[in-house]
Structures are given as C-alpha cells and as structure tokens.
Amino acid sequence: MDVRLPLFVVTPIFGAIIILLVGKWDKKIFPRVWSIITMAFLLLLIFLTWNKGTLLHFMGGWEPPYGIVLVEDSLSLLILLIINVVGFLSIVFSYSYILRYEDYLRFFSMFLLMIAGMNGVAIAGDLFNLYVFLEIASIASYALVGYGVGPEELEASFKYLILGVLASTLILFGIAIIYAATGSVSMADVARFLINNPGNRAVLLASGFFLMGFSLKAGLVPFHAWLPDAHPAAPAPISAMLSGVLIKVLGIYAMIRVFYHVIGITPMVSQIFIGMGGLSMVVGALMGFGQDDMKRLFAFSSISQMGYVMIGIGLGTPLGIFGALFHLLNHAGYKSLLFLSSGAIERETRTRKLSELGGLREKMPVTSAASVVGSLSISGVPPFNGFWSKLIILLAAFQSRNFLVAGIVVFTAFLTLTYYLRFQKNAIFGSVSEKVKGAHEAPIPMVMPLVIFAIFCLLIGVFNHTIISGIIIPAGQILLDRAGYIMSVLGGV
C-alpha cells in the first residue's frame, strides 16, 4: 500500500479545478503559476517514488482482483518520467507562449486534465480504469487541439475527435469482450486467467480491437491520418505534449502493457507490430519530404519514429525492447524540443513555412542551436541520444536475423537525416529571409525549456550506459516478465 500513488492523478485534477475557481479573480498570473507548481509537485512525487520497486495502491482498501489497483513499476516509472518532465517544461514554455491567446484558464486546466489522464494510464492496474483515464486524456486533447478556434484548428480537432472516438469505442469493445471471456478487468487477474485457460478465440477478436484502437492513438500507419492535421493545428506546447507524450502513453505504452502483460504476445501479433512499424517508418519518412509546414514535417516524422519503436517491440528480443523503450524516451526529448522551437520560431516570425524562413541562426541563436541539436539527435548523429536507440534497434534486427527489417531501419534513418537537413538548411541556415528580418530571440521562459531539452539530448547520448542500465533495462525486464507482473500485483492471492 502506497498512499502517494493516487496523488499522480488527484493533484493535476485538483489543480485544474482550482484554476477554474480562483480564475474568477485572477485570470492572468495565477493559472500560469499554479500549473507550474502542480507540475513541479508531480516531479517531486516521481523523485520520492524513484526506484522503490513495484509500488501498489488498493483504492478503498479493496484487494485485487476485486478492487481498483494502482501499480507503479519500473515501466510505469519510465512513462511517468516522460509525461511529467515534458509536461513541466511545456508548461514553463507556455508561460510566455500563451500571451498570444486570451483564455488562459481553460488552456491550463485542460492541460492539467490531460496530464492527469496520462498519469492515470501509466499507473492503472485494471483495463477499465485504463480506458477511463485514456478517455480523460483524449477528450482534453481534442479540446486543446481546437484551442485556437480558427477554421484550421476546428477542422483538425473534429477529425481527431471522430477518429479518436472510433478508437476509444473499439478499445471499450475489446475490454467488454475480455470481461465477458474472463470475468475480470484487473490486468493481473485477466492475465492469470488467460494463462490457465488458453485458446479462447474471443480474446483474438479483442486483441484485434485493441490493436486498431491503440495503433490509432499511437498514430501508426494506416491509422495515422489525424496526426498530421492535429499536431500543426494545436498550440506549440500542446503539439509537444501530443507528439512527445500522448501518442506514446495512450498508444505505445497502453498497447505494450496490454499485449505483453495481459493478453500475451503471439508470433502473429509480433508480425503485425513489425509490419505496422515498418509501414509507419517508411510512409512517415516519405511524407516528411515535400512538407512546407515545419510542424507538419515534425508530425510525419513522429509517425516515422513511432515505427522504430514498434519494430523494436515487435522483434520481442530483450535488445529490441530496450531499444524501443530507449527510443521512446529519446523521442520524447527531441521531438518536444523541435515542436517547442517551432512555437518560438512561429511566435517571432508569424510563419511556419520553410519556404518563408531562413537565416534564423543570426536572429535567434539559442533557439536555432537548440533545434540543430534536436535535428541532429533525431537524425541519429552520434553522440546525441537518437543515434544510440536507433543503433540498438538496428542491432536487434540484425541479431534476430531480420535483414529486411534492418535494411528498412537503415534506409529510414537516412531519409530522416535528409529531411531534417532540409529543415535546417531552409530555416536555420542560409540567408535571412523577409519574414525573419524582424525576429528576436524568444523570451527566457520559452528559451529555457529548449536549452534544457537540448542538454538532455546530449547528456543522454553521452551517458547512454547509465540511462540504459538505470532506467531502460529495469523497465524492459518488467515488460518481458509477465509472470512477475502477475505475482507482484496479486501477491499470494
């Protein structure tokens, strides 16, 4: 029993409500400060629960398999770390960025609600709560994508809403089928039941529903269509959250938790993972070419990078899993960095078009340097972090004698390098364009998160060994140990 676990969900929800209530009197300063305080508290919570092994909390004292159980193991910890670090830095970034909009209250309360939902997904111990938190985060994100209420934003939000609801519905169907087949929604209990009673065809149908639902949340091809519209339309910190965190938590994390721990991975599911991953990598990277809107370019590259993660997970070897989880962490760092820097650039130049940008390195040196670091990281240039995780995934593909997959991984790495060089060439380097002439360096609350992310990219790359052995390998071992998960949650029950 650990009473700190519910705080991961309760604190941001509480913060969201407080902001709306107190916002009657102070609409400008309080929401910004309070949300920073909330996120800082969440970081403190992670620090307090760091490396304490698997922590459990039984809601209302009801023991599993009957009550609601919250679980924080090393895998959840990795995900919580990603959510809250990126969330904190995005909130800091929003402090100045939000000045261009009017309604601060709803932005920050929605933001905190989204954090609450994602934290909930990360620590949920049963399928139904997973679904509930997933919906909280999704609905908050639908609202945030349409936050600018222009035609572009509303259209993107509507598309995202329709497709997202389709996915949620299918996930709910899947959970219903699982419940009908096993009589439980507690993940550990369902897993134990399925181990003892294999060969249930209904579970296959449920896994089909889950595959589609979670893939859509993760933005994998062919379910990716909402993503390149939603990411550019959202405000920059929200894009960073969507791309850096949301698609990972609601999509990848939920999928691997359900498939590795609850349903159990089968060769066919692995093949589908690899197939979708390969398709996403190539299609995302190809679409990255010829995009003029830089946020749209980043969005397609997110699709492509999620493909890497799926390849690693689909290979299923320890090396592949570690590579995938490491890539998850790294991608959160540099993609958030890139989206935030695009926000800073857009704020200063009023454009996102690569054809209208150029020579930013003279006008915005810090932002430019940070986004060069981000580009080099995502392109897999050593010693930045992206190189190592791509390398591990590549080696995993070679190790399992999947030469075709290895070829695709290498080819995509090359494509990624190419279209990011194009971004740098057009936006950062070159001669100063008309729109860039009046630009200045962004204010400190916007620049600081960029610099911190850039330092992360470099440090994680240089000290990759520490990160891998300290965070990634424990998380991966939890993922690979299905029986261990059941034991740790159900105990002797």
Partner 1 sequence: MRNLLLYPIVIPFLAGLFTLIVPRAKRFKQLITIAVCGYLLYYGIRLFLLPDIVGSFFTVNLYVFRADFILKADHLSSLMILFTYLFGFLISIYIVRSRDWVRSGDNQYLTYFLWTLAGVSGVFLSANLFFVLVFWEMITAIFFLFVNLGRGKLTAESARKTYVILGLADAAFLFGVGFIWASTGTLNIDLINIDTTAGIVQKIAFFAFIAASIAKAGALPLHTWIPTISENAPISVMAFIPAALDKLLGIYLLSLAMLKLFTVQPLFSFIIMLIGAATIIIAVFMALIQHDLKKLLAYHAISQVGYMILGIATGTVVGVIGGLFHMLNNSIYKSGLFLCAGAIEKETGTTDLEKLGGLYKKMPLVLVANVILALAISGVPPLNGFTSKWMVYQGVLQVGQPVFLALAIFGSALTLASFLKVIYSVYFGGESPAVSSTRRPSYLMSIPISILAILCLIFGIFATLPVGKFFIPINFALFQNVKSIALLDNLSFANAFWNPSLATTAIIIGLIIGIIIYLVGRVFKYREQPIYTCGERFELEERRFPGTGLYLTIMELPFIGQYLRDRDSGAYDGYNLVRFIGWETIIKKLKDLHNGILSTYLSWCVIGFLIIIFLLMSQ
Q: Scanning residues 343 to 372, which ones bind partner 1 (CB under 8 A)? A: 372
What string of DSSP letters covers 11-26? HHHHHHHHHHHHTTT-
73 neighbors 49 (Cβ within 8 angstroms): no
- Does 212 bind partner 1 (CB under 8 A)? Our answer is yes
What's the CA gap between 350 and 283, in Å, rounded? 29
| Between 62 and 403, CB nearer to partner 1 | 403
Please report how close the Cβ of residue 190 comes to partner 1 at its closest, in angstroms: 18
Verify binding: residue 170, partner 1, rule CB under 8 A.
Answer: yes
Determine the Cα–Cα distance for residues 366 and 347; give it in Å rounded to an integer.
15
- 334, 349 Cβ separation under 8 angstroms: no
What 3-state class would DSSP assign to 358?
coil
Q: Judged by CB under 8 A, how many residues of this single chain contact partner 1? A: 71
Which residues, numbered 463-482, are part of the site for partner 1 (CB under 8 A)?
464-465, 468-469, 473
Stretch that binds partner 1, among 104-112, 333-341, 400-408, 448-456 (CB under 8 A): 400-408
Q: Is residue 254 a contact residue for partner 1 (CB under 8 A)? A: no
**Backbone torsions φ then ψ of 55, nearest 5 degrees:** -100, 140
Q: Restricting to residues 283-322, which ones interact with partner 1 according to CB under 8 A?
A: 283, 286-287, 289-290, 318-319, 322
CB nearer to partner 1: give 50 or 289.
289
Q: Which is nearer to partner 1, 29 or 162 (CB)?
A: 162
Nearest to 85 by CA among 235, 309, 240, 301: 240
Member of 10, 149, 268, 455 binding partner 1 (CB under 8 A): 268
Distances (CA, A) of 336 to 175, 254, 325, 375, 464: 32, 20, 17, 11, 19
Asked if 271 touches partner 1 (CB under 8 A), the answer is yes
Q: For residues 322 and 30, give the distance between their C-alpha atoms in angstroms, rounded to a whole number.
A: 41
Place of tokens 């204010």: 443
**Is 93 or 142 the residue whose CB approaches partner 1 more closely?**
142
Among residues 106 and 224, whose Cβ is nearest to partner 1? 224
**Residue 70, H or E segment:** strand 69-72
The answer to the question of residue 234 lying near partner 1 (CB under 8 A) is: no
Closest separation between CB of residue 456 and partner 1, Å?
Answer: 19
Instruction: Return the residue of 67, 383, 443, 445 that touches partner 1, per CB under 8 A.
Output: 383
Q: Nearer to partner 1 by C-beta: 18 or 272?
A: 272
Q: Which window, 20-28, 43-51, 203-211, 247-255, contacts partner 1 (CB under 8 A)?
A: 203-211
Q: Helix or strand or coil: residue 417?
A: helix
